[in-house]
Amino acid sequence: MTLYDSDFYGWTQDQAAALRRLADERPNVGAGIDWAHVAEEIEDMGNDTLEKIEGLVAQIVAHLLRLEHCPDANPRQHWRGEITAWRKTRCAVGRSARPRLWAGSIWPS
């Protein structure tokens, strides 16, 4: 499994840094390619993914609070199902993004 598959955010940050180094060290490679903006776009892809995951973490916290405080039994199974699905999604982020996303007990130890 590659870093791209296991840690997309980390991959985007590494690739952006590598492209910036390449542009600085070998400016004639890929003449005509705007390496600075290509690196920025790749980095932004990782940041966009991270923002989506942050939204999922917020949803998980909101649903956990609902489960804790809502006396109505009807929506509880639905909330649990969504929490499970969202947790699986955020696990795909990889380790490099976790320090930015840590939200109490949501991250398993």
d(CA 89, CA 54): 11
d(CA 64, CA 2): 33
Query: So what's the pLDDT on residue 69?
Result: 92
End-to-end CA distance of the chain: 22
Q: Where are the domains of the chain?
A: 3-106
Please give the average pLDDT of every successive group of 10 residues along the chain, which has 109 residues. 88 95 85 90 92 83 91 89 82 71 52
d(CA 56, CA 90): 7
Query: So what's the pLDDT on residue 1?
Result: 83
CATH 3.40.50.1400 fits 3-106, yes or no: no
d(CA 77, CA 80): 5
What global pTM score does this model have?
0.70
